[in-house]
Structures are given as C-alpha cells and as structure tokens.
Amino acid sequence: MNESDNSVPAALGDDVSIGNLTVRYGDTTALRGAHLRIPAGTTTALVGESGSGKSTLALAASRLLPADAQIVSGSVRVGDTDLAALSGPRLREARGGVAAYLAQDASVALNPVLRVGSQIAEVHQVRHGVSRREAARLAENNLADVGIPDPARVARRYPHQLSGGMRQRAVIAIALAFRPRLLIADEPTTALDVTVQADILALIVRLQKQCGLTVLWITHDMSVVAEIADRVAVMYGGRIVEQADALELFESPAHPYTQALLGCFRQGRTAQPKHIVTAIKGSPPVGGVPDGCPFHPRCPHADDSHCRTTLPEPRVLGGGRQAACHHLEFAP
C-alpha cells in the first residue's frame, strides 16, 4: 500500500477462527457446524462443487448474508473480534476494517452509472467524513496500490469502459481501502481469462505480503489452489470434510470426496482432445442433505452400517490435518 498515506492504519494480520458456524435459509440448513482456522498472514483455499456451501460460508463470515438467511449458531473471530456477534454501528465499522469481501463478478459489484473513482471515494467519505477532494485523492491512491497505471484517468471512467481485469482491480481497491485484517475472496478470478487471472493472483499475493492480510479464497479451480494456498479446506453438503496443508492434501488426499475432486482435476489436465473426462457420479445434495455422511450416495466406500446412518465427526490425523469419514483406511 501507499506508505505515504497514513489516513488508515496498516493491517497487522490476525488468526481467523470460524467455530460451529451454522446457517439456515428458511427450513434448509445450508451450512452445518463449520469449523475452520486460518493462521495470520496465510491463505486458506475453500474448495468444493457448486452447491457445497462455499459462498454461504463466505457471506456468513462477511456478515453479508441475504435477508432470508439466518446465522443459527457459531462464531467468526478475527483476532479478538467476533463478527458473528456484532450488529448496528459496530458491524458497519467492522466491514472493510476487520474483514472485507471480494465478489466474484466485478461488473455486478460495481455500480454501472457511477464513475469508478466516485465509488471508491464514497467509502472514505462515509467512513471518515473527509472532504470530496480528499476522498478523490485517497481513491486514486487506492487504484495505484492495485497496480492501475494512470489512476486519475481510470478514476474518471465508468465500469463498462474498463476491461475485466481493470474492473477486478478496482473492486480489490475498494475491498482493501481500509486495510482489513481478513480478505474473503469469493472466486474473484472465475470470469477472467488465464493471463489476467495470473496477474490478479500475483497482485493478491503481493498485497498479502505487503499488508499482512489473512486470506480465505473460495474457488473450484484446483490449479489456483496449487498456486496460492498454504492450507486447503474441502466442503461438501454444507460441511468441511477435510482440512490439510496444501502440499499434503495434493499428495495424499484422505477423504473420498477430496480424492474424487483431485482425480477429476488431474485427469482434466492430462486428457487428450478426444478423451472423455470422468466426472464424480451423481450431484451434490440440493434442498437438504441425506442422513449419515452427506457424500455417501456418491462414495465408492459407503456402507449401510455407518455411512448411511451416522454423520462422521472430523478426525485429527496429525499436523493440523482433519478429515470427516468413517473409512479413512482407504486414504492413500
């Protein structure tokens, strides 16, 4: 970040701990007792198929859930601050300062009828009550921080006048304007081409080192996980079914679902043009999870005595690794 700008204190980095987080949409429980710890200054990637609960966890941790969703229980601690317990002015102050949310689609996150600089300047005016001129200066500094050349010119542009990569940089500038301690990035490179995606990933890594950010990165792209993650958490059926250091998880996945995900990823990278890539049979549960292990309808190791009747609790495997499965003997 711009070291000459002392209007906002630099992020120090904090351990992040999500404990027993449960979220319900009406009668449907979308997130079931999620536990996750992210060491300060590191990146944890949250992976899983669409519908596994990744975005629900991200929105709950950011306190940005839609009106029809409810946090039933749990905590989201960033250092000494429990975001799940905040409300009113304290919650508004924590958004952007304690934790910031980086949306998947920058074209939707930005207001199409306002200039980019005005959208960034607004957050400075609302949060600190600075003048319009000072807010505009801070907005240009924020754009410069994320590697945008000629930030004064870009600040005068509307979102549709910018490329996808430039729009995503602008959204990152907004997210990091108040130097948050936790950045929650919800698949922010999905809509970008490979070259631009690489630039954005490099930018996040640079800013993380520079600002001491702790990052929760939601993605379905295992190649992104391999590039940026220190640890990986795997979600299925609204539960975190495995957590491990990234290298350990890629080398020896313990949970059958993790094994299947990595199998699809590796086969997809090596398949020839005429080869049919094998997918995981079936689909994630929609509108409610089955009894027992949520993965049992698709698992090759499922049995009637445990898997279809009893929810497996996470088992500690050493080295900070956990997996929730009745049959970890099938792990490599």
Query: pLDDT confidence of 283, banded at 50, 70, 90?
Result: confident
Tell me what pLDDT residue 270 has. Answer: 57
Query: Which span out of 101-110, 140-149, 323-332 was modeled with the highest average pLDDT?
Result: 140-149
- Reported pTM: 0.88
Average pLDDT over residues 266-283: 68
Please give the C-alpha separations between residue 232 and each of 49, 131, 193, in angstroms, as whole numbers.
14, 43, 24
Token output for 258: 């993790």
pLDDT for residue 86 is more than 90: yes
Tell me what pLDDT residue 5 has. Answer: 43
Token output for 140: 């240009």
Token output for 218: 């939601």
Query: pLDDT confidence of 274, banded at 50, 70, 90?
Result: low
Q: What is the mean pLDDT of the chain?
A: 88
**In sequence order, which residues have a C-beta less than 8 Å from that of residue 202 and are 6 or more positions away?**
none
**In sequence order, which residues have a C-beta less than 8 Å from that of residue 296 and are 6 or more positions away?**
290, 302, 307, 308
Query: pLDDT confidence of 332, banded at 50, 70, 90?
Result: low
pLDDT for residue 1 is more than 70: no
Query: pLDDT confidence of 22, banded at 50, 70, 90?
Result: very high
User: How far is the C-alpha of 64 from the C-alpha of 59, rounded, in Å?
Assistant: 5
**Pairing label, strands 239-245, 231-236:** antiparallel
Please name the residue that has the structure tokens 């956990």.
Answer: 322
User: How far is the C-alpha of 35 from the C-alpha of 19, rounded, in Å?
Assistant: 5
How confident is the model over 218-244, as pLDDT tens digits?
998 888 899 999 999 999 999 999 999
Token output for 82: 């429990």
**Whether 175 contacts 186, CB under 8 Å:** no
DSSP letter for 315, please. Answer: E
Question: For 131, phi and psi rounded to 5 degrees?
Answer: -70, 165
Tell me what pLDDT residue 78 has. Answer: 95
Question: Which domains are present in the chain?
Answer: 16-106+178-330 (3.40.50.300)
Please give the C-alpha separations between residue 26 and each of 70, 75, 287, 313, in angstroms, as whole numbers.
8, 20, 11, 25
How confident is the model over 158-198, as pLDDT tens digits?
999 999 889 999 999 999 888 899 999 998 887 778 888 88
- Cα 163 to the chain's mean position, in Å? 23
Tell me what pLDDT residue 9 has. Answer: 37
Write the single-letter amino acid at 54. Answer: K
Average pLDDT over residues 103-116: 90
